[in-house]
Amino acid sequence: MVYLRIAAQPTMTPWPVNTPSVVLTAAGTVALEMYQEPSDLQAHRPQYARSFGPEQVLAVHPGTLCAMQSSDDGLQVLATARTTPDTDERLSGDEYAAAARRARWTLESLTSAPAGGL
């Protein structure tokens, strides 16, 4: 399945990875931290940390202990084998419409941008 992820996460948020997943950063930035043990995640002691900008890709496998943080203008394309998003959060009608407008504007900007990005 492919999902458009529009997220502004001002703090590092754990991401339970249950299936192989690939994330393409379309706009904004994503900070990723990976941890060796659950206690490292709780103590915020990453084994690996990296930031991803537009047109950069990250991949994770099931069981990876990681957390992500997204900029206010963050927009990612998430490809996963899972058939439904692993989230309990649902958008209201107005939030969905605003997210769809923002996603459309960003994707149209990407398709009209010169090679190499915005």
pLDDT digits 0-9 by tens, 12-57: 888 888 888 888 898 899 999 999 999 998 898 999 999 999 989 9
**All structural domains of the chain with their residue ranges:** 2-86
Residue pLDDT, tens place only, 51-86: 999 989 999 988 889 999 999 888 888 888 755 555
For the segment 86-112, the average pLDDT, to the nearest whole number, is: 68
Q: What is the dihedral of CA 35, 56, 107, 76, to 10 degrees?
A: 0
Q: Where are the alpha helices (DSSP H) in 7-52?
A: 38-43
Does the reported pTM lie above 0.75?
no
Domain 2-86 falls under CATH 1.10.1020.10: no
Residue linked to tokens 């490292």: 40
CA distance 93 to 28: 24
